[in-house]
Each structure stands twice: as structure tokens, then as C-alpha cells.
Structure 1
Amino acid sequence: MTDRKTELAANLAKVEQRIAAACAAAGREREEVTLIVVTKTYPASDVRILSELGVRHVAENRDQDAAPKAVACADLPLKWHFVGQLQTNKVRSVVGYADVVQSVDRARLVTALSNEAVRAEREVGCLLQVALDAGESERGERGGVAPGGIEELADLVARAPGLRLDGLMTVAPLTGEYAGREQAAFERLMDLSTDLRRAHPAATMVSAGMSADLEQAVAAGATHVRVGTAVLGVRPRLG
């Protein structure tokens, strides 16, 4: 355990240095960027160590892994973010622990989240996942609403009981015009965020960038970066 804590502390320090350097290069304050550590496939014991090291935001992408981990770590001062594709049959479980769902991409999911949030007497933050590899009106390969669908979906979330519209999220596309152009993709997301905030001024959160491209996300203006491998190491193979 001590060795693992030393390892995680060293990795966190490196990531912190990268974020601080990226902020300095972009003329931004370090406090403008929140680190979310993606703990998927790693045990609750790692989450506990991260909390001891000062991490306050963690993310998961599979409910079957996240739900028991959240229960095991319920005593810790953490905000849980759900970042994976979310099926409606998992919504009740996810609403039980997630403070923010970053992968909202369709009206049916908004309705399900709203119903469960009201039932659980919770307020759940929502980010619209934007598919920058989609056309203006299609859905992306890995989920996400097309840029042309943001306004309608945002209005739906904003009106939904139990939900709070927090902003936008994206994953750098592997195909299409932004493939290999992470910073351009994140700058496009920032433009979409600016458009969104005209109608919804409180929706200021922009979640973009992961271990490999957090610098480009910070340069573009992201408020939150989602880092897994750079903190926790290469993921164990899932059976």
C-alpha cells in the first residue's frame, strides 16, 4: 500500500506540473482547471489513496464497477463523475452516486435521469457529450450529440426537474475533420460552449482532454481535464 501511495503521489505530481505548465503557457490561472482522475478498472483502495493525496474529483465509465466502488468510498469527500455511455436501465443506479453525468446525449436519457433524480431527491449535474466526428445532426460513433443538436438538448436538460445543466464534454475524435487535431477539436468545443452560455449562462463547465492531450485542452480553455493512465498507470486488461 505504501509503495502504491508513493507511486500515485509521484504520478499526481507529474500531472500537476503538466497542468500548471499548460496553464502558464495559456496565460491562465492554475485554479481555472480542475483535475478529474478517471479511476475505471482500479480498486476502491486506489480511490482512497487518491483522496488522501488531495484528489476531490473521480470518474467512472461502467456502472457495474462504479456503484460498489462509490459505496466503499462513501465516507470520502469526493465528487463522482460518470463519463461512459449510459443506458437508461442503469440510470437509477448511477443517479445514486454520480454528482455529474458527463455523457448526456439524447432526450430519452434526459427523461430517465430526471425521473430518477426526482425520485432520489438529488440534483444531478449534466454535461452534454458533443460528437465532433458527427455531422450537424447525426450522433457520433462513440455517442454524443451532434453540434446542431446541442441547443434543443440543452433546453430539455435545463427544464428537467432534478437536473442541472453544467456545460459540455467531448472526447477528441479519431475520425473526421478533427482526427489528429486535438487542439482544433477542443477550440471548436469552446466555441460551442460560448454559444451555449448565451442561453444558459451558468453552463460554464467544459470537460475535455485526457492523459495524452490535456495540454491542448488547457490551451483551448477547458475547465476540467479527465486523466486516468497518467495518474494510475496503464490499465489492467479486463477479462
Structure 2
Amino acid sequence: MNDRRTELAANLAMVEERIVSACAAAGRKREEVTLIVVTKTYPASDVRLLHELGVRHVAENRDQDAAPKAAACTDLSLMWHFVGQLQTNKVRSVVTYADVVQSIDRIRLVSALSAAAVRAGREPVCLIQVALDAESGARGARGGVAPDGIEELATAVAEAPGLRLGGLMTVAPLAGPYAGRQQAAFERLLEFSSRLRADHPAANMVSAGMSSDLEDAVAAGATHVRVGTAVLGVRPRLG
């Protein structure tokens, strides 16, 4: 366990150095960017070590992994982010532990999440996931709503009981006009965020960037970066 703690501490230090450098290059303050460590496929013991090392935001993308892990860490002061594509039949479980749901991409999901949140007495923050590779009215290959669907979804979240509109999230697209152009993609997301804040001033979260492109996200103005591999190591292949 000490070896693992040492490994995580070293990796966190390297990621922190990258964020500090990216903030300096962009003329931003370090405290403007929140690091979310994506702990998917890794055990609750790693979450505990990360907490010891100062991490306060962790993310999961599968409810079947996240629910037991969150339950095993209820004594820790953590913000749990759900970042995966979310099926409506999982929302009742997800709202019991997720403080932030970053993958809102359809009205039906808003309705289901709202009902479950009210029933559970919870009020998760919701981010609209924007698919920069999606045509009008469609969803992206990795989830997310097309840009022209942001306004309708944001209004639905803002008006839904038990939910709070937090902002926008994206994953750098693998296809379409922004493929291989991460910073341009993230800058586009910031444009959408600016428009969103005109009607919803409190919706100021912009979640973008992962291990390979966090610098591009910071340069574009992201408020939250989601880093997994660079902190926890290369993930074991599943099944």
C-alpha cells in the first residue's frame, strides 16, 4: 500500500505541475481549475489514498462500479462526479451518491433524474454534455447533445425540481470538424458556455480535457479537468 501511495503521490505531483504550467501559460490562476480524478476500474483503496493526498473530486462512469465504491467511502469528504453515459434505469442509484452528473444529454434523462432526486432528497448539479461531432438533433458517438440542443436541455434542467444547472461538459471528438483539434473544440465549448451564462449566470462550470489534452482545456478556459490515466496509471483491460 505504501508503494501505491508513493506512486499516486508522484503521479499527482506531475499532473499538478502540468496544470500549474498550463495556467501560467494561459495567464490564469491555479485555483481557477479543479482537478477531478477519474477512478473508474480502480478500487476504493485507491480513492482513500487519493483523499489522503488531498484529492477532493473523483469521477466514475459506470454505476455498477461507482455505487459500491462510493458506499465504501462515505466517511470521506469527497465530491463524486458521474461522467459516463447514463441510462434512465440507473438514475435512482446514481442520485444516491453523485454530487455532480456531467452527462445530461436528453430530456427523458432530465425527467428521470429529477424524479429520483426529489425522492432521494438530493440535489445534484447537472452539466449538459455537448457533442461537437453531432449533427442537429442527434447524439454524439460518445454521448452528448448536438450544440443546437443545449438551450432546450438547460431550460429543462433549470426548471426541474431537485436539479441544479451547473454548466457544460464535452469530450474531445474523434470525428467531425474538431477531430484532432482539441483546443479548438474546447474553445468552442467556452463559446457555448458564455451564451448559456447569459441566461443562467450560475451555470459557470466547464468540464473539458483529460490526461492527454488537459493543457488544451486549461488554455481554452475550462474550469474542471478530468484526469484518470495520468494519476492512476494505464487501466487494466476489462474482460
TM-score by length of 1: 0.99
> Within 1, Cα distance between the matches of 2:29 and 2:117?
34
> Within 2, Cα distance between the matches of 1:87 and 1:201?
29
TM-score by length of 2: 0.99
Q: Where do residues 22-171 of structure 1 align in structure 2 (5 Å cutoff)?
A: 22-171=22-171
Alignment partner, residue 2 of structure 1: 2
For 1:36, give the aligned amino acid: I
Alignment partner, residue 202 of structure 2: 202
> Within 2, Cα distance between the matches of 1:12 and 1:142?
27
Could you say what secondary structure the match of 2:51 adopts? helix
Superposed displacement of residue 136, structure 1: 3.0
Structure 1 stretches of 4+ with a deviation exceeding 6 A read: none
Cα RMSD, aligned residues only: 0.5
Matched, 1:235 2:197: no
> Within 1, Cα distance between the matches of 2:209 and 2:99?
20
Superposed displacement of residue 91, structure 1: 0.4
Greater mean deviation of Cα atoms: 128-137 or 11-20: 128-137
> Within 2, Cα distance between the matches of 1:142 and 1:55?
27
> Within 2, Cα distance between the matches of 1:86 and 1:21?
34
Could you say what secondary structure the match of 2:67 adopts? helix
> Within 2, Cα distance between the matches of 1:61 and 1:14?
24
For 1:5, give the aligned amino acid: R
> Within 1, Cα distance between the matches of 2:73 and 2:136?
40
**Count of matched residue pairs:** 239
For 1:65, give the aligned amino acid: D
Alignment partner, residue 226 of structure 1: 226
Superposed displacement of residue 143, structure 1: 1.1
Superposed displacement of residue 45, structure 1: 0.2
Greater mean deviation of Cα atoms: 227-236 or 138-147: 138-147
Superposed displacement of residue 137, structure 1: 2.6
> Within 2, Cα distance between the matches of 1:69 and 1:129?
24
Query: What residue ranges of structure 2 are gaps of 5+ in the alignment?
Result: none
Identity %: 81
> Within 2, Cα distance between the matches of 1:135 and 1:72?
41
> Within 2, Cα distance between the matches of 1:87 and 1:168?
19
Could you say what secondary structure the match of 2:86 adopts? coil
> Within 1, Cα distance between the matches of 2:95 and 2:179?
33
> Within 1, Cα distance between the matches of 2:131 and 2:118?
28
Superposed displacement of residue 141, structure 1: 1.3
For 1:222, give the aligned amino acid: A
> Within 2, Cα distance between the matches of 1:127 and 1:91?
15
> Within 2, Cα distance between the matches of 1:63 and 1:85?
10
For 1:102, give the aligned amino acid: Q
Superposed displacement of residue 237, structure 1: 1.2
Could you say what secondary structure the match of 2:127 adopts? strand
Greater mean deviation of Cα atoms: 218-227 or 141-150: 141-150
